[in-house]
Amino acid sequence: MTNTVAQRKIKRRKYSRRDYQAFLYLAPWLIGFLVLQLYPFIMSLIYSFCNYQLGTTPVFNGLENYIRLFNRDADFMKSLRATGIFTIVVVPGKLILSLAVAMFLNRDMKGINFARTVYYIPSLFGGSVAVSVLWKILFQDNGIVNAWINALGGRTIQFWGDPRYALGTICSLEIWQFGSSMVMFLASLKQVPKSLYEAAAIDGANSWHQFWHVTIPQISPILFFNMIMQTIQALQNFTSSSVITNGGPLKSTYVMGLKLYKEAFTNFKMGYASAISWVMFLIIMIVTLLLFRFSSAWVSYDD
């Protein structure tokens, strides 16, 4: 009986001044989430089923935008292919390079802190227009890279004018910015108990066996996290392709992010652009779910 009365009193209790203060502090985040995230998210889904030209009234057209994407838009299929190649090259390349550098920096040597700082610097400018412009200058016909090739007796390579090299050169830019993954790998490597390496060495394991059977299992959660984040980032790539090649040559670097931008802010087809954004969202979600589905076979969370 006493507990019932107490519960009724709690239900009748009015919000105190501290409760209202809590709501007040949460208000900026709630307003930002509702106005800048949830509302655009819902409206983009609605617009994806509409014929909506910027400045006009949206007209519902069902699945027409999606049917056009996959059946009548050759540029979208080219962007899908370019994005797939970009992701397949960049994600493993960045993971391998960042892990290799992290293992090199996970040593006690003179000046190691300075070396770690130097290796991280490129990631401070990740995704910036300035770095993309710099990369464009380095690999142009009369740039430094071609100057080195010519000095070694090679012929000038049209990195930005030849479809065989353009996408790969942009991939190299993204792989070069590996600092954030490297820092996480370095932190995880420092948590691997040295006793495991000592036990493996006693059992006769060489460096290669220790790497596969000790290092990789111990850092597998961080490896998996980096894989997820780098995959999502690669599937949304836009800046480097837009600034350096604008999707050329011959649409070889015309990634989905650039396709979305051009449809929305060049052609002003907001309904069609919304459909592209939802296709991108579904691709990212499916790829992420597949990675999680198969992660149990190689990711270990044991202490």
Confidence (pLDDT) at 267 = 93
Asked if omega into 249 is within 30° of 0 (cis), the reply is yes
Confidence (pLDDT) at 109 = 77
**Does residue 3 belong to any structural domain of this protein?**
no
**Does residue 270 belong to any structural domain of this protein?**
yes
C-alpha to C-alpha distance for 173 and 175, rounded to whole angstroms: 6
**Does residue 149 belong to any structural domain of this protein?**
yes
**Does residue 35 belong to any structural domain of this protein?**
no
Enclosing domain of residue 183: 73-295
Q: Each residue of 204-241: pLDDT tens digit?
A: 989 899 999 999 999 999 999 999 999 999 999 999 99
The residue with greater pLDDT, 193 or 14, is: 193
Mean pLDDT of all residues belonging to the chain: 89
Q: Comparing C-alpha atoms, which of 135, 138, 113, 104 is closest to residue 122?
A: 135
Q: How many domains does the chain have?
A: 1
**Does residue 130 belong to any structural domain of this protein?**
yes
Residue 70, judged by CB atoms within 10 A of its CB (0-12, 13-18, 19+), counts as: exposed
Helix ranges restricted to H, the chain: 2-12, 17-33, 39-47, 64-71, 74-105, 112-120, 129-138, 144-151, 163-176, 179-190, 194-202, 207-210, 216-235, 239-240, 256-265, 270-295
Tell me the pLDDT band of 14, cut-offs 50, 70 and 90.
low
Cβ neighbours, 10 Å, residue 118: 12
Confidence (pLDDT) at 249 = 92
Confidence (pLDDT) at 122 = 72
Tell me the pLDDT band of 111, cut-offs 50, 70 and 90.
confident
Q: Note whether 284 and 111 are within 8 A (CB).
A: no
**Does residue 123 belong to any structural domain of this protein?**
yes
* CATH number reported for the structural domain that contains residue 100 in this entry: 1.10.3720.10
Q: Note whether 210 and 200 are within 8 A (CB).
A: yes
**Does residue 27 belong to any structural domain of this protein?**
no
Confidence (pLDDT) at 5 = 52
Confidence (pLDDT) at 55 = 86
Using the CB atoms, write b or e for 222-236: b if 16+ within 10 Å. Answer: bbbebbbebbbbbbb
Specify the DSSP element, H or E, that contains 59: strand 59-60
Q: Each residue of 259-303: pLDDT tens digit?
A: 999 999 999 999 999 999 999 999 999 999 999 999 989 998 865
Amino acid type, 54 = L
Helix ranges restricted to H, 34-143: 39-47, 64-71, 74-105, 112-120, 129-138
Q: Each residue of 61-105: pLDDT tens digit?
A: 999 999 999 999 999 999 999 999 999 999 999 999 999 999 988
Check whether 179 has a pLDDT greater than 90. Answer: no
> To 5 degrees, how large is the angle CA 75–CA 236–CA 74?
10
Tell me the pLDDT band of 169, cut-offs 50, 70 and 90.
very high
Residues facing 59 on adjacent strands? 51
**Does residue 59 belong to any structural domain of this protein?**
no
